[in-house]
Amino acid sequence: MTHQNIKKFSLALVGIIAFVLPLVLRSPTYLHILVLLYFYAYLTTSWNLVGGFAGVLPLGHAAFVGIGAYTSTILFLQYGISPWIGMIVGSILATIVGVLIGLPTLKMRGAYFALATIAFSEGVRVMIENIDFLGPFKLNGPRGLLIPPLNTGLANFLFVGKEPYYYIILIMLIMALAFTYFISRSKLGYYLNAGGEEPEAAMALGVNVARAKLIAMAMSCFLTALAGTFYAQFTLYIHPRSIISLDLSFEIAFIALIGGRGSIAGPVLGALLLRPVSDFSRIYFGATLPGLHLVIFGVVLVLVMIYQPRGLQEPLTRAFNKLLDRFAVKTTMEDKK
């Protein structure tokens, strides 16, 4: 077997395991943890388009999750429009907002862009917290919106068990990963990487850096808002502090930085590592040491930044390739026999 074949094979194996897992794992608690794990992996993959490839550090992506969640929920509750349609409407809205925010801010460098995005997402949160009615739309201020679990079924994006949600977010994650894989190998991917690393050199080579970043921002916002609708339909209750919180924005960045910014596998690895820490520390230390997971994240981030500044995906990929070498050598020797 060649390297390429083994890689494809192991990727397929992981995919199959992910698909049959709910058949084995019956506990709703674990399924819930897994759904949230995929949800964060998906969010970070979306974030990675602009935060990883384009080399900027957006710290306000929760705002786009919020826009997606609120749009589809309001359309569903007030007008009875299926959340599937609301999902697309919310994403288009988030894309427009993202482009409007990106136009002035993407020109900023480093920490200034991060601060601008924090300010923007906090602004959105405070606004929604203080507005009960935005024109005809009921936002319900800080009390949030409750989706009554009536008329369950695929058309309404409402299910009794956790399994359907599991499969929906899994498929969304796979699609997002495939999309970023495709982008990273396209002209836009090359342009984003170049513009993120050395903007002046990129411009001299014909790259309109600002335009490339804006396109990445638009795509990232679109994907992020899709997850917002999913979250609303999954938890059935959204309020500004749960969905547009800085905690969420920061956790996405934590996962990306620890897993490896700008790589395809990084967000998934980061989520695989950090989500269990977060969930189990909440289960076991939630009463005595609330917020312990954030302390652990901080320590892990510091260690990773010191020893593996390009994220954990790099040593892991290296180890995986070494393992592949060993396998490949063994099999070729057997072939000769």
Partner 1 sequence: MKILEVNALVKDFGGLRAIDTLDLVIEQGQILGLIGPNGAGKSTAFNCIAGVYPPSKGDIIFSGKKINGWKPWNLCKNGLARTFQIVKPFSSKSVLYNVMVGSFVNTDKKDVAEEKALKVLNSLHFEDKKDIKAGNLTIADRKRLEIARALATEPKLLLLDEVMAGLRPAEIDELVQIIQNLRDSGITIFLIEHIMRAIMALSDRIVVIHFGKKIAEGIPEKVASDENVIKAYLGDEYVVS
Single out the residue of 122, 129, 163, 198 in contact with partner 1 (rule: CB under 8 A).
198
**Residue 197 contacts partner 1 per CB under 8 A:** yes
Distance CA 237, CA 217 (A): 28
Applying CB under 8 A, which of residues 204, 287, 306, 333 lies at the interface with partner 1? 204
Half-sphere exposure of 255 (CA within 13 A, CB side): 32
The window from 62-70, 190-198, 231-239, 244-252 that contacts partner 1 (CB under 8 A) reads: 190-198
DSSP output for 173-235? HHHHHHHHHHHHTSHHHHHHHHHHH-HHHHHHTT--HHHHHHHHHHHHHHHHHHHHHHHHHHH
At its nearest, how many Å lie between partner 1 and the CB of residue 59?
Answer: 22
Cα(180)–Cα(177) distance, rounded to whole angstroms? 5
Please name the amino acid found at residue 42.
Answer: Y
Task: Tell me the closest approach of the beta carbon of residue 213 to partner 1, in angstroms.
Answer: 13
Contacts of 76 (CB under 8 A, 6+ apart): 82, 83, 86, 147, 156
Figure out which of the listed residues 13, 17, 126, 205 binds partner 1, where binding follows CB under 8 A. Answer: 205
The number of residues that bind partner 1 (CB under 8 A) is: 20
Pick 14 or 201: Cβ nearer partner 1:
201
For residue 69, what are its two tokens?
């969640």
Question: Minimum distance between the CB of residue 1 and partner 1, rounded to whole angstroms?
Answer: 23
Given 3, 8, 107, 185, the residue binding partner 1 (CB under 8 A): 185
- Asked if 234 interacts with partner 1 (CB under 8 A), we say no
4 binds partner 1 (CB under 8 A): no
CB of 206 to partner 1, least distance (A): 4
Nearest-approach distance from CB 304 to partner 1, in angstroms: 17
Q: Is 176 in the site for partner 1 (CB under 8 A)?
A: no
Residue 264 interacting with partner 1 (CB under 8 A): no
Within 13 Å of residue 31, how many CA atoms lie on the same side as its CB? 20
- Establish if 201 lies at the interface with partner 1 (CB under 8 A): yes
Q: Which residue, among 168, 142, 158, has the nearest Cα to 77 in the 3D structure? A: 158
**What is the rounded distance in angstroms from the CA atom of residue 255 to the CA atom of residue 44?**
7
Stretch that binds partner 1, among 69-77, 196-204, 224-232, 251-259 (CB under 8 A): 196-204
Are 220 and 47 a contacting pair, CB within 8 Å?
Answer: yes
From the number of C-beta atoms within 10 Å of its C-beta (0-12, 13-18, 19+), residue 336 rates as exposed
Q: Does the footprint of partner 1 cover residue 35 (CB under 8 A)?
A: no
Q: Is residue 322 involved in binding partner 1 (CB under 8 A)?
A: no
Shortest Å distance, C-beta 197 to partner 1? 5
Contact 237, 147 (CB under 8 A): yes
Min dist. Cβ of residue 186 to partner 1 (A): 7
Binding site residues, partner 1, CB under 8 A? 185-187, 190-191, 193-194, 197-198, 200-209, 310
